[in-house]
């Protein structure tokens, strides 16, 4: 397991960065509904940067490990929705986050 994480380390880091940028871009799109066009444009910039990180990440890791890690988007989205938009964090969301984290760890460590 640790060998797989070490082998895909750069790719995993880039996929996590990709997820963060994509989620921020999507959050800005949501905010643009009330705040205006500038947020849409900045959101596209963040989303585009996230896409570039994702493409580069595939050079540094196995597709079968990195692609499923994009499910981290769900976790980052819930965190951003709670902190920025003040949305509720229910028990089912917390359980879902834990299940996603367990899956990401198992998949990340399963490339032998």
pLDDT digits (tens, 9 = 90+) for 7-46: 788 999 999 999 999 999 999 999 999 998 999 999 999 9
pTM for the complete prediction?
A: 0.86
Tokens encoding 103:
């899956």
| CB distance 109 to 64 below 8 Å | no
CA distance 22 to 90: 23
Residue spans of the domains in the chain: they are 2-108
pLDDT digits (tens, 9 = 90+) for 51-103: 999 999 999 988 888 888 899 999 999 999 999 999 999 999 999 999 999 98
For residue 39, the tally of other CB atoms under 10 A from its CB is 17
In the predicted structure, residue 111 carries a pLDDT above the cut 70? no
- Report the Cα–Cα distance between both ends of the chain, in Å, rounded: 8
The confidence band for 1, taking pLDDT boundaries of 50, 70 and 90, is low
**Residue 32: its pLDDT value, please?**
94
In which residue are the tokens 């750069």 written? 10
CA distance 28 to 14: 21
Supply the DSSP symbol for 61.
S
């Amino acid at each position: 397991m640790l060998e797989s994480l070490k082998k895909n380390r750069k790719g995993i880091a880039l996929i996590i960065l990709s997820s963060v940028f994509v989620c921020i871009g999507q959050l800005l799109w949501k905010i643009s509904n009330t705040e205006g066009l500038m947020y849409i444009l900045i959101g596209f910039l963040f989303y585009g940067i996230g896409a570039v990180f994702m493409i580069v990440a595939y050079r540094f890791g196995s597709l079968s490990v990195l692609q499923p890690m994009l499910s981290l988007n769900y976790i980052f989205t819930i965190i951003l929705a709670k902190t920025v938009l003040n949305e509720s964090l229910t028990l089912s969301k917390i359980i879902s986050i834990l299940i996603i984290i367990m899956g990401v760890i198992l998949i990340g460590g399963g490339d032998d």
